[in-house]
């Protein structure tokens, strides 16, 4: 009399376990078959507001996952370029000692305020980004 009940219980427990185990597999399969926006990168990204950037201090924003420097130059134009050093990819920092410039702490490369490489082993300027303003919103596009 007890045997069928125990057997039914075990069948149901196994079916429940199989169902719960299948949920993550089905989810991963669905994600694989229909890649969403999270798997893509966008060509143009709103990174911040003009109020976030003081005239004399560049600021680093995220363009997708890449650090990008945005600054307001003395001519009143917003400029942007990658903050990745063109030597081996360390992130450059804004420095004021010896005049405003971007310095790479990894191997000593220096870039002027237009992103041009001026010292150290960096072989080329920082990669430029196009800046578009929509009101106070700053949009960057990879060039
Ligand atoms: Fe910047 Fe080497 S990574 S100087």
Tell me which H or E stretch contains 66.
Answer: strand 66-72
User: Rounded to the nearest whole angstrom, what is the distance from the C-alpha of residue 106 to the centroid of ligand 1?
Assistant: 5
- Residue 61's pLDDT is 93
Nearest CA to ligand 1 atom 4: 107
- The set of protein residues with a Cβ atom below 6 angstroms from ligand 1 is 85, 87-90, 104, 106-109, 120-122
Look at residues 69, 119, 124, 76 and name the one whose alpha carbon lies nearest to residue 99. Answer: 119
pLDDT, tens digit (0-9, with 9 covering 90-100), for 95-133? 999 999 999 999 999 999 999 999 999 999 999 999 999
**Residue whose CB lies within 8 A of the most ligand 1 atoms, among 93, 104, 117, 124, for a mutation test:** 104
pLDDT at 40: 58
The most distant pair of C-alpha atoms in the chain lies apart, rounded to whole Å, by 91
Q: What is the structure's pLDDT at 28? A: 81
pLDDT at 111: 98
What is the per-residue pLDDT for 35?
61
How far is the C-alpha of 57 from the C-alpha of 69, rounded, in Å? 10
User: Which residues of the chain carry a pLDDT beneath 50?
Assistant: 39
Per-residue confidence (pLDDT) for residue 3, from 0 to 100: 61
What is the phi/psi pair of residue 61, to 5°? -115, 175
């Amino acid at each position: 009399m007890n045997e069928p009940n125990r057997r039914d219980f075990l069948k149901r427990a196994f079916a429940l376990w199989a169902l719960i185990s299948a949920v993550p597999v089905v989810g991963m399969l669905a994600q694989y078959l229909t890649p969403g926006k999270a798997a893509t990168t966008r060509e143009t990204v709103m990174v911040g507001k003009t109020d976030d950037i003081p005239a004399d201090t560049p600021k680093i924003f995220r363009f997708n996952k890449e650090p990008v420097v945005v600054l307001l130059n003395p001519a009143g134009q917003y400029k942007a370029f990658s903050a990745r050093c063109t030597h081996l990819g360390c992130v450059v920092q804004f420095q004021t000692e010896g005049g405003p410039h971007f310095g790479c702490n990894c191997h000593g490369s220096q870039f002027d305020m237009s992103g041009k490489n001026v010292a150290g082993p960096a072989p080329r300027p920082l990669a430029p980004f196009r800046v578009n303003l929509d009101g106070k919103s700053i949009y960057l596009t990879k060039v």
